[in-house]
Each structure stands twice: as C-alpha cells, then as structure tokens.
Amino acid sequence: MDIIPVIDLKGGAVVHARRGERARYAPIVTPLAAGSDPLDVARGMLAVSPFAALYIADLDAIAGTGDNRAAVTRLRAAFPGLKLWVDNGIADAERATAWLAEAAAGLVLGSETQRDCALSRRFADDPRVMLSLDFRDEIFSGPPGLLATPVAWPRRVIVMTLARVGSGIGPDLARLVAIRAAAPDKAIYAAGGIRDGQDLADLKQAGIAGALVASCLHDGRLRGADIARLQS
C-alpha cells in the first residue's frame, strides 16, 4: 500500500487544512517541525517514515491568486529522491505539457479546476499524471462528464473528500469502494479523514491502492511502525 504524506502550501508556508475551508487555513503548528517552512515540515514527515512520494497542494495556484512554485523547487532540490505529486490547478494542455517538461514533478489534475474530461483523457496514459476526484460532502466538484467517464482517467486516481480533510472522522470508505468498482483497472487512493493505521488497514483490505495522510502524522496517531507493517 502506498502511503503519501501531504503538505498544503499557501503564501509559501505549510498550512493546516481542515474540511476544505481554505480561507480559514492558518500556518501549521506541528511537533514534526519548529515552524511552517515547507522543508522543515517535509523533513519532519520523512523522519516518521522514508516516504517515496510527497503530495503538494498549491492552494494559491488552485485559487488563481499566485503560486508556490518556488517552494516546490526548494523541496525538489532538498529531497532529490522524493517524488512530488503537485496539484496546482492546471486545467489546459499547454500548461500541463510545460509543467511536466520543466518542473520534474508529477502533476495532479484536480477535478474542481477542470472544464471537461479532455485534459484527463489526453494525459490518461502518462504515468506522471494523476487525477483527483474532488467531493464536497455528497457533491462532486467538477464536470459531471469527468466523473462518469472512467476510461478518461489516468492510472492513479485520488478520491478526495474535502469535508473529511483534517476532521479525524475516518475515510469515505463507501465512496472509495464504489469508485473502485466503477474503475477496477485504476489504482484508487483515499484522501480525507484517515485517523490511524487501522483505517489504512481497512482501506487496504477493501482494495484501495494507497492513501494521502497529514493530520494523523502530525498528531502521532500514525507511526512509522504502522506504515512499515502496511507496506510489508
């Protein structure tokens, strides 16, 4: 099972994501780092477990108010062996192609910023590209045609339940299982609400390929030993 730590970037700092209420996100306070600098927080996460990849949500780029590309560049330079999965709101082929050519990082296409399923379909066979199916409560955040067209999805698909992010109420298992059944040839990743190693074990048992985690790392409920056991 792939366990992917998450950092949310806003104004150059790592912020504490909670329930998708982005206007209220504040710089993170965590025992894993002395402050909210992205390098310090990433280093603290890697001290918990030698993760192979890091998911980065560039909240300024997603909102269209700027970007945190400088922070992504710093992370890539500081941790050259770490794969970066970056959601930065890209929704057109020209920008996606340029990002993949220049950034040396994977690209996450967030459904909330897509206009249709054309971009996902175009890059469906590119292993550097992932799709995030974003949900706010029971409502899909994105073009309905994208959700209804699994053939247009890339190999790795994140199911992001924003209302559960930072909530500690558990993953959206029913939705994850339903999407896995609709797209059995895709690797489905859970995001939002994961509390501890038991939640991850339940997801693994349900056939979920991986999970994005943050709060349970910061509060210590997910430990390196739990991760090692799930990945063995």
What integer is the mean pLDDT of 149-155?
A: 97
Tell me which residue has tokens 């924003």.
162
Confidence (pLDDT) at 25: 73
Per-residue pLDDT of 51-89, as tens digits, reads: 999 999 999 999 999 999 999 999 999 999 999 999 999
DSSP string, 167-228: T-S---HHHHHHHHHH-TTSEEEEES---SHHHHHHHHHTT--EEEESHHHHTTSS-HHHHH
Distance of alpha carbon 74 from alpha carbon 97, whole angstroms: 21
Distance of alpha carbon 89 from alpha carbon 13, whole angstroms: 18
Among 83, 66, 17, 39, smallest CA distance to 218 is for 17
What integer is the mean pLDDT of 210-225?
A: 94
- What residue spans define the domains of the chain? 2-231
What integer is the mean pLDDT of 135-151?
A: 93
Tell me which residue has tokens 């994501």.
17
Confidence (pLDDT) at 19: 59
CB crowding 184-220: b at 16 or more within 10 Å, else e: eebbbbbbbbbbbbebbeebbeeebbbbbbbbbbbee
**% of the chain beyond a pLDDT of 70:** 96
- Per the DSSP assignment, residues forming a β-bridge with 13 are 10
What is the band of 232 on the pLDDT scale with cuts at 50, 70, 90? confident
Confidence (pLDDT) at 51: 97
**% of the chain beyond a pLDDT of 90:** 84
Per-residue pLDDT of 81-137, as tens digits, reads: 999 999 999 999 999 999 999 877 899 999 999 999 999 999 999 999 999 999 987
Contacts of 24 (CB under 8 A, 6+ apart): 18
Helix count (H) and strand count (E) of the chain?
10, 10
Q: What's the CATH fold of domain 2-231?
A: TIM Barrel (3.20.20)
Alpha-carbon separation of residue 173 from 57, 164, 209 (angstroms): 22, 12, 13
Confidence (pLDDT) at 21: 58
